[in-house]
Amino acid sequence: MSDKTSIETWKELAEKQLRGKPLDSLNKTTPEGIEIKPLYTAKDLENIEFNNSMPGQEPFVRGPMATMYAGRPWTIRQYAGFSTAKESNDFYRKNLAAGQMGLSVAFDLPTHRGYDSDHPRVSGDIGKAGVAIDSVEDMKILFNEIPLDKMSVSMTMNGAVLPILAGYIVAAEEQGVKHDQLKGTIQNDILKEYLTRNTYIYPPKPSMRIISDIMAFCSKEMPGFNTISISGYHMMEAGADSVLQTAFTLADGLEYVKAALSSGMDIDVFAPRLSFFFGIGMNFFMDIAMLRAARFLWAELMSQFNPKNPKSKMLRTHCQTSGWSLTQQDPYNNIIRTTLECMSAVLGGTQSLHTNSFDEAVGLPTETSARVARNTQIIVQEESQVCNVVDPLGGSYYVESLTQSIVDKVREILTEIDELGGMAKAIESGMPKMRIEEVSARRQARIDQGTDTIVGVNKYLVEDEVHIEVREVSEEVRDEQIARLEQMKKDRDNDKVKDALNQITKAAEADGNLLEACLAATRARASAGEISDAMEKVFGRYVATTQCISGVYAAESGNSELVESLRKRTKDFKEKTGRRPRILLVKMGQDGHDRGVKIIATAYADFGFDVDLSPMFQTPEEAARIAVENDVHIVGVSSLAAGHKTLVPSLIKALKKEDASDIKVLVGGVIPPGDYDFLKDVGVVDIFGPGVPVTDSANRTLNAIGA
């Protein structure tokens, strides 16, 4: 018998198979900075802090519930909403009949930003990226024939959380449903809006007060309703890796806990109703470990407040598969991506899940693609046998070690945030936002170089483009919304509405509960925009400072020939014309997704462009004026919310009105291929859909201005 250990024997075998290459050449370092070895053994469990953890018991690494899916499967949700309340209601009822278990409502961008559909700033956004809700009348239609005493409803709403939550409550009242019968979640996570999604309305301080008021009201009136869903999803979509997503999400949660405590609430009154929302991408084991680490760390963070109820330390979460990982190229590959992400969320121990539809890289889900997405979960739940065992990966050498590595990395960032004075102060410093944008730019550079493989985009490309059906929202939706809004205002008691709105303003000035005031106004038929405006009189509307990083894309690219050739082209342009090529990058309408435009800004600056980045939420007329004042050669419009067919033609008209027809316009983002001809016919010089390498887009941009 050999005296060698099994590990030593394995090393010998592995080195033979590597034919002289060192064994550590198999080691990988993740974007999170975690070193991954090719083999994990029992020795890797020696320093694990949670070796004896059990499901349902602190620190909840193996799941918040003792029996997990063996006792009850996760809730199948589909995040959906588009066009009018009636169309969305039809869609919901079909999905519920087909096996969906709960509703997750997506609202359109004007609703998120506190604007009614008749506001002049929102003409291109109504019903495009979610359902338009202007009043409780819309909310009643949205939930028509859906019993709110039985249905769990999740609403992704942050900026206009008060009028939307009030509309839901009043719609339930008018169904005959009592407050304490309502079940579900309101996202109500404003801090991440200042980091990534940007659908804020008010500055941070009054926004935090709104959260406390909602917690206080619901803890008394709606004990079965989750008053906040602390979200890392949009951080992931903006480019955060798993460590950053975990750290910043937990830091946001800690900030909300401290705000509730400072308002006089008891930890055990509100903490058991906190929930979380994580994004799940294509790093399969990393995201499994992320959910496990998040539960461990949340229990640790909450222990400092000495709760008596164990549920106050329990992290419960909803998850959603990545939208960013979906590709326009070879789109049926997205079904496979979503299935892998679904399994990752399930093996990580999520409480509910939304799986994205394969066509969301080009538009809103169709009924067919939504059915495939929903059935992905049903098949995993019903056919894979994964629900038979509680935490099937518990004790895995790799998963347990990876979980500990994430815990260690997240603790470092949480300490850094604490030294800055907490997450609110960290956000003011710009640290979290810049950290996410740096990781995002590095990731894009690796994709463009082919270092990170995206099948169908930078490897295994197909020559023939696959045509898929795209759901399009009619431009008539705005007319329908405005007509219903006008009718409601005609039928209501306007003096009563005026008095109710004044009470909201007074509550904002003093310390009255804002949700209670908004409920009274909603019952009187005040619109969501009117309610938002009543608070804006006191709080003001927040305007973010627009900035971007530089040097990151080029640094990750190293001595790339493509980057050097682009720098030569911009240098030659300067020698020829006397100045560098100048581009204005602009987000028009109410779309707050800025990952793409920030990546373009930092990369183009590294290539030698002069880059102007406009403030968020511009009208076409405002964008045209900035372009003229900055004397740019070209305007790059970033679009992810389907407003391009309205906003881009308006921009081109506005440039003509400014006698600036020589300024070229190009468009990038989520643009259905069927819209390309329309955009080119109105004067767009080029279009960059999802998956176009940044270096390719820069070359084509230079071609467009004759460089």
User: Residues with catalytic annotation?
Assistant: 79, 233-234, 587, 591, 593
Q: Tokens in use for 475?
A: 């431009």
CA separation for the pair 163, 202 (Å, rounded)? 14
How far is it, in rounded angstroms, from Cα 552 to Cα 605?
10
Nearest to 134 by CA among 589, 542, 532, 506: 532
Total length of the chain: 707
Distance of alpha carbon 605 from alpha carbon 582, whole angstroms: 10
Distance CA 539, CA 519 (A): 19
CA angle, residues 86, 97, 323, in degrees to nearest 5: 70
CB atoms within 10 A of CB 438: 19
Among 321, 325, 369, 378, CA closest to 344: 321
Residues 6+ apart with CB under 8 A from 470: 359, 362, 363, 364, 366, 672, 674
CA atoms within 13 A on the CB side of 685: 18
Q: Is the dihedral of CA 529, 532, 536, 542 positive or negative?
A: negative
Report the C-alpha gap between 369 and 375 in whole angstroms: 10
Distances (CA, A) of 346 to 63, 87, 351, 380: 11, 31, 8, 9
> CA of 580: how far to CAs of 453, 604, 607, 626, in Å?
33, 11, 11, 18
Whether the CB-CB separation of 523 and 531 falls below 8 Å is answered with no
Q: Which long-range contacts (CB under 8 A, 24 or more apart) does 499-502 make?
A: 500/524, 500/526, 501/526, 501/530, 501/531, 501/533, 501/534, 502/534
Spatial CA neighbour of 255 closest among 49, 58, 428, 408: 428
Are the beta carbons of 583 and 604 closer than 8 angstroms?
A: yes
Please give the radius of gyration of the chain, using alpha carbons only, rounded to the nearest integer. 26
d(CA 359, CA 356): 9
d(CA 278, CA 257): 18
Say which DSSP state 557 is in: H
Cβ neighbours, 10 Å, residue 245: 29
Helices 204-221 and 161-173, interaxial angle, to 10°?
20
CA atoms within 13 A on the CB side of 77: 29
Q: Which residues is 669 bridged to in the sheet?
A: 639
CA 459 to chain centroid, in Å, comes to: 27
Given a contact cutoff of 8 angstroms between Cβ atoms, the answer to whether 114 and 528 are in contact is: yes
Q: Which of 627-656 are b and which e, b meaning 16 or more Cβ less than 10 Å from the residue's Cβ?
A: bbeeebbbbbbbbbbbbbbbbbbbbbebbe
Helix (H, G, I), strand (E, B) or coil at 102: strand
For the record, the structure tokens of 75 come out as 């809730």
Residue 59, preceding peptide bond in cis (omega within 30° of 0)? yes
